């Protein structure tokens, strides 16, 4: 397969660009881990749709964790006694 002429190798990137790529990757990984943890701990009744589908969406899509938090969790109306 021919290499695209404008595609840069990691070595060609500036230190600032490398740091940005690493930081964005770390944030993305952290969001995935937190979303998966919430999904595993959350009761099935509090998840919109099948948990397996949300697991796959979080894994496959860079915006998956945000989509899960916005659309995948049911809102609970329980108020703890300390927050009345």
State residue 15's pLDDT score: 95
Query: CB-based burial of residue 58 (10 Å sphere; 0-12 exposed, 13-18 middle, 19+ buried)?
Result: buried
Instruction: Please spell the DSSP secondary structure of 8-54, one letter per residue.
Output: PPGGGS-HHHHHHHHHHHHHHHHHHHHHHHHHHHS-GGGBSS-HHHH
Mean pLDDT score, 12-18? 95
Q: pLDDT tens for residues 18-67? A: 999 999 999 999 999 999 999 999 999 999 999 999 999 999 989 999 99
Q: What is the reported pTM?
A: 0.74
Q: Under a CB-based contact definition with an 8 Å cutoff, are residues 43 and 51 in contact? A: no
Helices 51-60 and 15-41 meet at what angle, rounded to 10?
Answer: 180
Indicate if the pLDDT at residue 79 is higher than 60: no
Indicate if the pLDDT at residue 3 is higher than 80: no
Indicate if the pLDDT at residue 84 is higher than 60: no
């Amino acid at each position: 397969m021919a290499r695209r002429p404008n595609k840069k190798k990691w070595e060609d990137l500036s230190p600032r660009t490398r740091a940005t790529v690493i930081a964005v990757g770390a944030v993305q990984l952290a969001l995935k881990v937190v979303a998966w943890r919430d999904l595993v701990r959350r009761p099935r009744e509090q998840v919109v749709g099948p948990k397996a589908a949300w697991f796959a969406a979080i894994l496959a899509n860079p915006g998956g964790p945000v989509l899960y938090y916005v659309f995948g969790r049911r809102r609970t109306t329980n108020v703890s006694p300390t927050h009345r």
